[in-house]
Homo-oligomer: A and B are copies of this chain.
Amino acid sequence: MEVEFKALLDDLDVLEKSLSDPAPIHKLRSHVENLANLSKCNPQRRSRVKELSSEVVDSNPYSRLMALQRMGIVDNYERIRGFSVAIVGIGGVGSVAAEMLTRCGIGRLLLYDYDTVELANMNRLFFRPDQVGMTKTDAAVQTLAEINPDVVLESFTMNITTVQGFETFTSSLTNKSFCPSKEGSGVDLVLSCVDNYEARMAVNQACNELRQTWMESGVSEDAVSGHIQLLVPGETACFACAPPLVVASGIDERTLKREGVCAASLPTTMGVVAGLLVQNSLKFLLNFGEVSPYLGYNSLKDFFPTMKMRPNPQCSNVACLERQNTCLRNQKGTLLLKLRWKLMHPQLSMKAHSMLIMSGT
């Protein structure tokens, strides 16, 4: 509507010049300017919150989250404001994951996608028909900023599988301006919510290089199953340690796509996978429950397989091998420390010994 208001104001200018008494036009202009401002901002948008409160009043957007402390689930919920999470792929899973983290009051979200919203996306949650044509990251920022203005949102409309895109991706992950004292990279977790292996390999490469913990997610082409997976470089399998056949064979997956054929998708499967992914992320960040290394979802039988995946010493990814070697060196160091300590204090049990090791003694 901005264009229309501009045209109206221009017409008023023309009219003002043709009149001997410009006073009524001044009044009209003030009216029109007021309307233009009203059309820009939503007067009911909630204001920012300085500190999370556990007060039980209708106007507190955080009371039900802070109640997790009273229930004994989370020690210090307010820590969530210090975390940065990067979400790669703002589609059926990524957009819902972003909305969940936004409603939970995450500190900062970095959103990556190169695609635009289409009507064909309307069978999943999140995007609305009036956002068709917008880039997915811009549409997401528009909606998320309305939902929770406390979250710092960063929109990256780009393809991480290009040379330039990959560079921008890794440098954005290492930007520590949000939390200058943070160790490691500038984000606490990367969530991969992409729909192709090429993009997963790019996330895998960046995370291996940066020693960045990430979680991968996926939904099957027939829309009725999915999975989430935790990847800690060097400690668990990386995405290249046991790649799907299409990756291992070096096939360009774009050649597999057929004209006039698309994958199926359901808002249910994608909503469940996003929920499991963000629940696992909250457990990882806020330190409660057990973080699942892998969790599958077969909706036809309501079967939820879990498993652990060890890193592959013959992995084709050089950065993964480096991370594996660092882990092995650290493990050897810990074992040597344990052995030396045991020789010095033979009377103490292994349990007491482990407790001392864990407490950093």
Q: Which residues of A contact B (CB under 8 A)?
A: 1, 4-5, 7-8, 11-12, 14-15, 18-19, 24, 27-28, 31-32, 34-35, 38-39, 42, 44-46, 55-65, 67-68, 70-73, 96, 99-100, 103-105, 118-120, 122-125, 128-130, 132-133, 146-148, 221-224, 260-269, 271-272, 274-276, 278-280, 282-283, 288-290, 292, 295, 299-302, 304, 306
Q: Which residues of B contact A122 (CB under 8 A)?
A: 46, 61, 103, 147-148
Could you list 13 further interchain pairs (A-B, Cβ under 8 angstroms) beyond the known A58-B120, A59-B120, A302-B304? A4-B31, A35-B35, A46-B129, A64-B120, A64-B263, A67-B261, A96-B125, A99-B125, A100-B267, A130-B146, A272-B272, A276-B302, A304-B304
With A73-B223, A261-B56, A264-B68 known as contacts, the answer to whether A129 contacts B147 (CB < 8 A) is: yes
Contact A279 B272 (CB under 8 A): yes
Contact B288 A300 (CB under 8 A): yes
Out of B39, B44, B62, B119, name the residue touching A129 (CB < 8 Å). B44
Chain B nearest Cβ from A333, distance in angstroms: 32
Contact A268 B275 (CB under 8 A): yes
Contact B1 A15 (CB under 8 A): no
Can you tell how many copies of this chain the complex includes? 2
Beta-carbon nearest neighbor of A289 in chain B: B300
Q: Which residues of B contact A104 (CB under 8 A)?
A: 123, 266-268
Contact B15 A120 (CB under 8 A): no
Q: Which residues of B contact A290 (CB under 8 A)?
A: 300-302
Q: Which residues of B contact A274 (CB under 8 A)?
A: 271
Chain B nearest Cβ from A212, distance in angstroms: 22
